[in-house]
Structures are given as C-alpha cells and as structure tokens.
Amino acid sequence: MNLLTIETEANVTREEAAARLREVADALASSNVIELEHEGKALIVRVPDRVELEIELELEDGVTEFEISLAW
C-alpha cells in the first residue's frame, strides 16, 4: 500500500527540463534530502548515501521515452 504517490507531467522546453534535472542533481550532490512542493506544501524526502539508479530508453513508432529512476 502506497502512503503517498505524486506524479507530475508538463510540456516544457528542453532547457526547462534540464533546469529541473539540475535542481534534483544539485540537491542529491549537496545534501541527503530532496524538497518537493505539492499543493502548496513542501515535502522533504530523505535520501540515503547509496541509491539504485535506472536509466531506460524506449523508441517506439516515432515516440521516444527516456526515464531516469532513483530508488532506495
């Protein structure tokens, strides 16, 4: 049973996507927490020193999907 699931999807520029990824990368590199905002509230997620990193690329009928997943 999930305690909380938050999914967001937005159509953004490549540069905006890169900025969002940089924010997450900087948070991971500088501390053990990631801050997210949901419905006007800040959520703080603690991240251990070691995580499972998964990178997936799917090419299908003219659609490309690139996923980066972190789990712990």
pLDDT, tens only, 19-60:
999 999 999 999 999 998 888 999 999 999 999 999 999 999
**CA pair distance 45, 3, nearest whole angstrom:** 13
In three-state form (DSSP H/G/I as H, E/B as E, the rest C), the secondary structure along 41-54 is EEEEEECCCCCEEE
Q: What is the mean pLDDT of residues 7-15?
A: 94
Domain ranges of the chain: 14-71
**CA pair distance 69, 54, nearest whole angstrom:** 5
Q: Is the pTM of this model over 0.75?
A: yes
Q: Using CB atoms within 10 A of its CB, is residue 5 exposed (0-12), middle (13-18) or buried (19+)?
A: exposed
Q: Which of 72, 2, 5, 3 is nearest to 38 (CA)?
A: 5
What pLDDT sits at residue 37?
86
Considering 7-11, 34-38, 41-45, 67-71, the range whose residues carry the highest mean pLDDT is: 67-71
What pLDDT sits at residue 2?
76
What pLDDT sits at residue 3?
82
